[in-house]
């Protein structure tokens, strides 16, 4: 297991207290899990993702991750419609362990991009993990 000072927490994205990250990409928002989340989960063996065009409100459960340690829910960081899912994760869920930031889970067309302002910066997220 990684120590907190070993975590990779890129500053170009925002984080939730449920350990998802969100990054504006064009007019959409890419969503994945943090390095902390993948380290805590251990080897990820299955990703349950929503379908394209599914709509969610911020904080809704949008999928699950199954690891050798158990099952963990995924919560959507901003309200919107799913416009893409990372289909590579169907065959290679371990990609989330290898690089949780390169390997996003879904892309959302947000209803209100302003919801991104309510998420945590990388430094605030790290402070939360230390508590």
CATH number at residue 16: 2.40.50.100
Domain annotation covers residue 74: yes
Kindly tell me if the per-residue pLDDT of 79 is higher than 90: yes
Q: What is the mean pLDDT of residues 69-94?
A: 97
Question: In whole angstroms, what is the distance from residue 62 CA to residue 55 CA?
Answer: 9
pLDDT at residue number 103: 98
Q: Is 80 left (phi over 0), alpha (psi -120 to 50) or beta?
A: left
Q: Which two tokens stand for residue 69?
A: 């340690």
The answer to the question of residue 129 being in a domain is no
Residue 102, domain member (yes or no): yes
Mean per-residue pLDDT over the chain, rounded = 95
Does any domain span residue 119? no
pLDDT of residue 6: 78
Judge whether 76 lies within some domain: yes
Question: Residue 128 domain-assigned?
Answer: no
Residue-number span of the structural domain to which 21 is assigned? 4-113
Place of tokens 């993990």: 129
Taking the C-alpha atoms of residue 110 and residue 82, their distance in angstroms, rounded to an integer, is 9
Q: Which residues contact 9 (CB under 8 A, 6 or more apart)?
A: 15, 34, 35, 36, 122, 125, 126
pLDDT band at 2 (very low <50, low <70, confident <90, very high): low
HSE-CB for 31 with a 13 A CA cutoff: 32
Domains of the chain: total:
1
Question: Is 14 part of a structural domain of the chain?
Answer: yes
> Is residue 120 situated within a structural domain?
no
| Whole-angstrom distance, CA of residue 46 vs CA of residue 42 | 12
Q: What is the pLDDT of residue 1?
A: 58
Per-residue confidence (pLDDT) for residue 78, from 0 to 100: 98
Report pLDDT digits (tens) over 83-127. Answer: 999 999 999 999 999 999 999 999 999 999 999 999 999 999 999
């Amino acid at each position: 297991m990684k120590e907190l000072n070993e975590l990779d927490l890129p500053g170009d994205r925002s984080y939730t207290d449920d350990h998802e990250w969100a990054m504006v990409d064009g007019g959409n928002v890419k969503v994945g899990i943090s390095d902390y989340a993948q380290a805590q989960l251990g080897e990820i063996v299955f990703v349950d993702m929503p379908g394209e065009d599914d709509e969610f409100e911020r904080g809704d459960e949008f999928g699950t991750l199954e690891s050798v340690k158990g099952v963990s829910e995924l919560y959507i960081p901003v309200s919107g419609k799913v416009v893409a899912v990372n289909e590579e994760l169907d065959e290679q869920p371990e990609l989330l362990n290898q690089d949780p930031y390169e390997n996003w889970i879904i892309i959302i067309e947000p209803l209100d991009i302003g919801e991104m302002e309510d998420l945590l910066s990388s430094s605030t997220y790290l402070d939360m993990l230390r508590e």
